[in-house]
Amino acid sequence: KNEVEQSPQNLTAQEGEFITINCSYSVGISALHWLQQHPGGGIVSLFMLSSGKKKHGRLIATINIQEKHSSLHITASHPRDSAVYICAVSLAEGSNYKLTFGKGTLLTVNP
């Protein structure tokens, strides 16, 4: 079983819709990252969370340490949000950035 599970694997939405992508993990972690990978492969770090909630523009990330669960929300989605969103965790016993990755969620936002 993968230590980091994401759902859904694929998500198609209409422009303007509210998007939620979920991430569950099975081990103790020191931090969780949400990453965005555009076609062509480049990856951008969106958030690093160890507790609570963070917001950046239309993106909101939350984490519940007790439930080992995190969500990434996109408000008022736009076609330019189309990308693969990847959840990754730093294991509690590992060095800070030895990340374990989920397989990603492919988001397509149609105009």
Partner 1 sequence: SQTIHQWPATLVQPVGSPLSLECTVEGTSNPNLYWYRQAAGRGLQLLFYSVGIGQISSEVPQNLSASRPQDRQFILSSKKLLLSDSGFYLCAWSRGEKLFFGSGTQLSVL
Judged by the rule CB under 8 A, the positions of this chain that interact with partner 1 are: 2, 4, 33, 35, 40-45, 48, 86, 88, 95-99, 101-104
Q: How far is CA 48 from the centre of its chain?
A: 10
Cβ closest to partner 1, residue 13 vs residue 23 = 23
Cβ closest to partner 1, residue 48 vs residue 65 = 48
Distance CA 48, CA 106 (A): 20
Q: Work out how close the CB of 42 gets to partner 1 at its nearest, in angstroms, rounded to a whole number.
A: 5
Distance CA 74, CA 67 (A): 22
Please classify residue 58 by burial: count the beta carbons closer than 10 Å to its beta carbon, then call 0-12 exposed, 13-18 middle and 19+ buried: middle
**What radius of gyration, in Å, describes the C-alpha atoms of the chain?**
13
Q: Work out how close the CB of 67 gets to partner 1 at its nearest, in angstroms, rounded to a whole number.
A: 22
Q: Work out how close the CB of 102 gets to partner 1 at its nearest, in angstroms, rounded to a whole number.
A: 6
Cβ closest to partner 1, residue 66 vs residue 95 = 95
Cβ closest to partner 1, residue 45 vs residue 110 = 45
**Which DSSP symbol is given to 82?**
-
